[in-house]
Amino acid sequence: MGRVNDTKTALVTGANKGIGFAVAQGLGAIGFTVAVGARDDARREEAVERLRTAGVDAFGVALDVTSDDSAAAAAAAIEQTTGRLDVLVNNAGISGRTDGGAQDPTTLDLDVVRTVLDTNVFGVVRVTNAMLPLLGRADSPRIVNMSSNMGSLTLRTGPIMAAYAPSKSMLNSITAQYARRLADTNIIVNAACPGYVATDFTGFAAPRTPEQGAAIVIRLATLPDDGPRGGFFDDEGAVPW
Q: Please state the closest distance from residue 149 (CB atom) to ligand NDP, in A.
A: 7
Helices 41-53 and 18-29 pack at an angle, to 10 degrees, of 40
Rounded to whole angstroms, how far apart are CA atoms 187 and 138? 9
- Cα 177 to chain centroid distance, Å, stands at 17
In whole angstroms, how close is the CB of 14 to ligand NDP at the nearest point?
3
Sheet of 237-238: strand order equals 58-62, 33-38, 9-13, 87-90, 142-146, 188-192, 232-234, 237-238
Which residues of the chain form beta strands (DSSP E)?
A: 9-13, 33-38, 58-62, 87-90, 142-146, 188-192, 232-234, 237-238
Measured in whole angstroms, how far is the alpha carbon of residue 54 from the centre of its chain?
A: 21
Q: Which residues are catalytic?
A: 164, 168
Residue closer to ligand NDP (CB basis): 120 or 222 = 120
**Residues 100, 103: Cα–Cα separation, whole Å:** 8
State the nearest-atom distance from the C-beta of 169 to ligand NDP, in Å.
12
Nearer to ligand NDP, 4 or 103 (CB): 103
Q: How far is the CB of 71 from ligand NDP (least distance, A)?
A: 10
Would you say 38 or 85 has its CB closer to ligand NDP?
Answer: 38
Residue 23, phi then psi, degrees to nearest 5: -65, -45
- Shortest approach of ligand NDP to residue 92 CB, angstroms? 4
| Closer Cβ to ligand NDP, 136 or 158, answer by number | 158
Note the residues at the interface with ligand NDP (CB under 6 A): 13-14, 16-20, 38-40, 43, 63-66, 91-94, 119, 146, 148, 193-194, 196-197, 199-202, 206
Looking at the Cβ atoms of 4 and 121, the one nearer to ligand NDP is 121
Question: What string of DSSP letters covers 215-240?
Answer: HHHHHHHT--TTS--S-EEETTEEPP
